[in-house]
Each structure stands twice: as structure tokens, then as C-alpha cells.
Structure 1
Amino acid sequence: MIRLAGGDRSALGEIYTATHAKLFGICLRILNDRKEAEDALQDVYLTLWRRADRYDPSSGSPISWLAIFARNRAVDRLRTGKVRKGAVPVEEASDVADVQPRADALLEDAEQSARIHHCLGALEEPTQSSIRSAFLEGQTYAELSESTDTPLGTMKSRIRRGLAKLKACLETDPS
């Protein structure tokens, strides 16, 4: 979104590839017409191109922001009466699920994340960095073994033992 706000055309292509299926589904559900949904989706991306700088990362994820944007664009098309026969009444648009996570779910996720980072921080450094590299950066055991000059069997054992300690830490009562 930052790149798009700066005028990077390739960023719009990447955003489109990552989001068009979901956003089209939202538009189609509300408008109940493929052509109308396509038109609404085109409006979403045209407006996004012009107004990407209005996205505020603190207000939610980009996909949530775009989903709300797509929903509103489809509802606007219903309200203006530009929609062909077969579209659902505008009142039914309120039944489209809000994609924003609930506040209690966000708190729970934050607490769980803090707990994982706490437990991960309690591990010995080689184990901690190996687990972070494998599970957060996506490196394979073989890549880790090679980059740290550690035998593959040792790397697998280190991570397996570390995950067991991590699991035990997460299962203990945090209070």
C-alpha cells in the first residue's frame, strides 16, 4: 500500500493479484450480477489507485480495508439505481459479514503472540534463532544446517527439542 501510494504501478498489480478474488466475491454477493460486480470491482481499483495514500495501517489490514471499500462501492451502486434487474435489495447488504476481527479476538491474538515471544526468548540462543529461521523466515532444515555449519541431524534435533520446550512453556499457566 505504501508503494502504491507512492505511485508504483507494479504495486497495484500485486495488490490486485492478492485481493481480486475476495473483493469480487463481496461485490457479487451484494449485486447478484457478474457484470455489475466486475464494474464495482473496477471502480474499487481505480479509486484505490487515486487514493491509496488514505490507507492508515493502524485502522486494520489492507485486505480488511479493501473489503470494506468493495462492500461500500457495491452498496453505492445499489443506492444510485445503476444496477440491472436481479440485484439484491440494498437492505440485504447489511448481512455481508464484517471482515474486521472482533476486539476480543485481537486482544487474544496479542496475548498469545506475546506469550510465544516470551517462551521463545527463554530458549538458548542457537535453538531460538534456528526456530525463528525455520518457522518465521521459512528456511528449511538443510538451509539452516548449511548456513550455520551444523550437521543436519543436529539441526533437526535442536529444533525438535526446542519445540518441545516451547510447547511446555506455552502449556504452563501464565499467571
Structure 2
Amino acid sequence: MTRALNPPNSLELNNWLRGAAQKDALAFRQLYEASAPRLYGLALRILRRRELAEEALQESFVSIWHHAGEYQAGLSAPLTWMTAIVRNKSFDLLRRMQADVEIDGEDFDEAVLASLRDPRANPAEALELSSEAKALANCMAALEEKHRHVIGLAFFHDLSHGDVARRLALPLGTVKTWIRRSLARLQSCLTGQGAA
């Protein structure tokens, strides 16, 4: 993690991702060295413990290595795609750590979604969400319930748009539209909160 001074541009990351998709170890190493410091910082903000952030980062890069061929440059920037993987792996690790709370995965997900619906939830109810997650919770609460549900399935459960459509028995176009509009609303809301 020595190359954090100048963040790489999307073209470099895109080229390295294409190389990783073809199992080019050198390209993957360059991708790792260029993006790991920033992605580690994200994992650390979510998990708040170095050893957990390192574990999430390692799991994320294993996933990136195996799924680099699925990256679609037209849908998101390379760093955005990798950030989503790190975020998902970090939240997966948080869920695994909840074993001592005696709630299964579905109940935990419902508790997370419930805390996102209620921005006034106390810290225990909000599952000790970070300040960034609390801002997201406030913005999620402003979405319609059906849109929150689609976003939750796509990002908290890491389901593809097609999987969300099948699971909810909705047309794929509807799911894509809801996700696109919801993400735009979330971005606008979060940008507004940042400026406030």
C-alpha cells in the first residue's frame, strides 16, 4: 500500500481491471497498489478496527480477481465498482460479527432496514452506524418503501438487477428505473447534507 500519493485515473484502473479479468498477475498487482489505500480507508471507516478492515480488503480483492471480467465500464467508474465490493464485504463482515447477538441473517437485514427507515433511531437501534451511514439512513428514509426495498436487495444483499426483478416478480426495466432514480435521489440528498 505504498502508492496512495497520486490517485490513479479511471483509464489506468480500467486497463488493470481488464488485465485482471485475463488473470494477468502484474495488472492485478498494479490495480491493488493503486487502489488499496483508498479502499482500505473505506473499510476502516465502516469496521473501525484495522484487523477487520484488512480482512475485508483481502476478501474484496479476492472477489475483484474472480469477478474482474464482469466489470462494465459503461455502468460505473472502476473505483466506484471496487468501492461497492469493499462496502459489501465490510457489511458482510459486520453481519458475521453479529453472531453473539443471536439474530440470523434475515433478521439482521430487517433490523438494518428498519434502522434506515427511522432516522431518529437511538445508537443501539441504529446498530452503531457510522456518521456517513447515518447520513445515508436519513436519505434512505426519504425514499418510498418499495424503492428502499429494491436498493436494499441490490446493495445490501449484493443481488444483480435481474435477481432483484425475479425475487420481487417485477419487470427488469422497472427495477433498473427504480434503482437509477433512487441512486440519483440518494446522491442529491447526500450532496445536500454535505453542503449543509
| TM-score computed with the length of structure 2 as normaliser | 0.44
Larger radius of gyration: 1
